[in-house]
Amino acid sequence: MRNVKRILVHLKSGSKYLVKELHDDYHTQNGVVKASDFRKASLESSTGEKFLCLEPNFIDLWENLKRGPQIITQKDIGLILAKTGVNSKSKVVDAGGGSGSLCLALANVCNEVTTYEVNPEHYDVVSRNKQLLGAKNLIIKQANVYEGIKEKKLDLITLDLPEPWKVVEHAQDSLKTGGFLVVYLPNLNQMKMFIDSCRRTKIKVLDTLELLERKWVIEDRIMRPEFQMLGHTGFLTFCRRL
């Protein structure tokens, strides 16, 4: 059950507030919103500022994930979803859980996701984020994925950890034929080691790529890319079990 009941969006600034208690008035930097107004889709605070009052959707909550280790960003999550075609029937294993960014995004579209996280502190972070998102179909295991994967007939395994080559044999045993293995790594030398480890296995490497994201400023007479862009985050290698 999600503990966030409403999202208040301040129209002027775009600031978002997460409301957890519907019976209490909510204090924002732009005035107080009355509890009796939470039923309205648009409302005004005590200082006359306009707000939208929305049912929380996945992305409103995802933006508020508690941060532990470095997360996988939306651009890379989007490509993983697009290139593996996972859907509401899919069974997935993810490792390591980290902050839960990827496994929660997968749980938002898949039938069941199990994430392995070896570090107890990160296990707590991902557990808290599971609660924030209300992701009942996410199973979090405090376990070392290098020692094995219990789940079988998987549609997808995602790996975001330092030594993915230690998971190739387990992935071979746990993926269904045609299932996908996706590896995310910041350095190419690690990726080369992973790709080499797939030789003479049933894991066929399809593509290695990275995505660069450049936002644009479009206002009045200005139309140009932002000076800073989200450049290198990580390399992605997509594989399929033969």
Ligand X SMILES: C[S@@+](CC[C@H](N)C(=O)[O-])C[C@H]1O[C@@H](n2cnc3c(N)ncnc32)[C@H](O)[C@@H]1O
Q: Which residues bind ligand X (CB under 6 A)?
A: 69-72, 95-96, 98-102, 116-119, 122, 144-146, 160-161
Structure-token pair, residue 126: 């991902």
Q: Least separation, in Å, of the C-beta of 114 and ligand X?
A: 11
Nearest to 161, CA basis, from 142, 184, 192, 143: 184
Q: Considering the complex, state which of residue 19 and residue 182 has its C-beta at the smaller distance from ligand X.
A: 182
Q: Give the nearer residue to ligand X in terms of CB position, either 91 or 122.
A: 122
Kindly state the tokens that stand for 104.
Answer: 């929660």
| CB nearer ligand X, residue 162 or residue 225 | 162
Query: Are the C-beta atoms of 16 and 9 separated by less than 8 Å?
Result: yes
Question: How many residues make up the chain in this entry?
Answer: 242
Between residues 7 and 113, which has the closer beta carbon with respect to ligand X? 113
Minimum gap (Å) between residue 199 Cβ and ligand X:
22
Q: What gap in Å lies between CA 95 and CA 100, rounded to an integer? A: 10
Residue closer to ligand X by CB (options 56, 96) is 96
For residue 96, say if its preceding peptide bond is cis, omega within 30 degrees of 0.
yes
Shortest Å distance, C-beta 222 to ligand X: 34
Tell how many helices (H) and how many strands (E) occur in the chain: 6, 15
Q: C-beta of 104: minimal distance to ligand X in Å?
A: 8
What's the min distance (Å) between Cβ of 192 and ligand X? Answer: 19
- Whose CB is nearest to ligand X? 96
CA 161 from centroid of its chain's CA atoms: 15
